């Protein structure tokens, strides 16, 4: 039973990361819709989709329990601002032909999460974790000096999603995935409405103006946003954190492949070097996670005293 549960959880989590990995193609296909209109619809349609899910699953009671808790409501508002920033940066990067830089941000993200654990939660790091952080910092410096530009998209993505994960950690086990996303997008809805009004008064809205196929794609933004999050929540609750730690690189790997193979973005030698150094850091971090998980399981098994001993 445990084996089948973990297998299902692994498939759920892997499905989430695969969908996140090919997500850049979705935003490319949304052309000529600009990033500000895309994210506004993404917020509003995600809210609609979550409302439908809460109605179907009878989850409104859970939602209002969270909403009536001032601390949880405030944390979800903060999470909403952070995920909004992450979505906006990501769509701008994709539509600016910077998918590779976006993937770099998500390669660095696990290391950013570890660093935040030290700075905010005052956790003590193991040696390999410190080494991985140092190597990742070197990689960013190599890209800055060799390529000649600061990878702002990558840094913005890893910072926003890293802090978002930290906030979500504070409400873990209390707020379910659907209620959480519903509340996050509820707080963002006024911003999204204002954003649509500004777009309508300037460049003009594209919904319904670029053909039936484009309209259906744009109206799918809520589903495209919510499904991977729900898959991830289902997976994370069924498998150890060490497994999630290894699976999380599937997303940026696929984004990297999409950028190089499908979208034919430039990959000069200096950028290859920078990415190579980041991959070394990610490998060390993964090795550390696996070793720590094994030691933890071994210590737990040794602590169990057989009956009659």
Domain range enclosing 7: 2-298
**Is 266 among the domain residues?**
yes
**Is 106 among the domain residues?**
yes
**Is 217 among the domain residues?**
yes
Measure the CA–CA gap between 180 and 66, rounded to whole angstroms: 8
- Would you write out the chain's pLDDT as a tens digit for each of its 309 residues? 566 777 888 888 889 999 999 999 999 999 999 999 999 999 999 999 999 999 998 889 989 998 999 999 999 999 999 999 999 999 999 999 999 999 999 988 888 888 887 888 777 878 888 888 888 888 888 888 877 788 899 999 999 988 888 888 777 678 888 888 899 999 999 999 999 999 999 999 999 998 999 999 999 999 998 898 888 877 876 777 667 767 888 899 999 999 999 999 988 888 888 889 989 988 888 888 778 777 777 776 676 555 454
Check residue 47 and give left, alpha or beta (phi > 0: left; psi -120 to 50: alpha).
Answer: alpha
The pLDDT of residue 309 is: 45
**Is 274 among the domain residues?**
yes
Contact 280, 132 (CB under 8 A): no
**Is 102 among the domain residues?**
yes
Count of domains forming the chain: 1
**Is 33 among the domain residues?**
yes
Measure the CA–CA gap between 59 and 232, rounded to whole angstroms: 18
The pLDDT of residue 25 is: 95
**Is 304 among the domain residues?**
no
- Count the Cβ atoms, other than its own, within 10 Å of residue 97: 14
Residue holding tokens 């998209």? 153
């Amino acid at each position: 039973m445990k084996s089948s549960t973990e297998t299902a959880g692994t498939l759920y989590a892997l499905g989430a990361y695969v969908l996140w990995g090919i997500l850049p193609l979705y935003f490319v296909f949304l052309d000529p819709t600009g990033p500000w209109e895309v994210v506004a619809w993404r917020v509003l349609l995600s809210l609609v989709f979550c409302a439908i899910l809460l109605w179907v699953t009878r989850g409104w009671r859970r939602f209002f329990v969270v909403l009536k808790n001032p601390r949880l409501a405030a944390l979800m508002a903060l999470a909403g601002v952070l995920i909004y920033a992450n979505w906006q940066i990501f769509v701008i990067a994709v539509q600016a032909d910077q998918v590779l830089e976006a993937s770099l941000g998500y390669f660095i993200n696990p290391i950013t999460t570890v660093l935040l654990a030290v700075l905010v939660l005052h956790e003590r790091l193991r040696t390999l974790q410190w080494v991985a952080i140092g190597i990742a910092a070197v990689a960013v410096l190599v890209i800055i000096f060799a390529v000649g530009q600061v990878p702002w998209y990558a840094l913005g993505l890893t910072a926003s999603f890293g802090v978002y994960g930290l906030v979500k950690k504070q409400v873990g086990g209390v707020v379910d995935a659907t209620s959480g996303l519903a509340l996050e997008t509820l707080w963002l809805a006024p911003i999204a409405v204002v954003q649509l009004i500004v777009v309508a008064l300037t460049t003009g809205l594209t919904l319904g103006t670029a053909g039936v196929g484009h309209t259906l794609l744009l109206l799918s933004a809520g589903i495209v946003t919510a499904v991977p999050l729900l898959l991830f929540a289902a997976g994370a609750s069924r498998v150890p954190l060490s497994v999630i730690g290894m699976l999380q690189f599937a997303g940026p790997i696929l984004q990297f492949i999409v950028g190089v193979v499908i979208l034919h973005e430039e990959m000069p030698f200096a950028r290859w070097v920078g990415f190579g150094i980041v991959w070394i850091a990610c490998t060390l971090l993964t090795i550390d996670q696996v070793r720590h998980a094994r030691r933890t399981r071994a210590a737990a098994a040794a602590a169990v005293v057989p009956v009659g001993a």
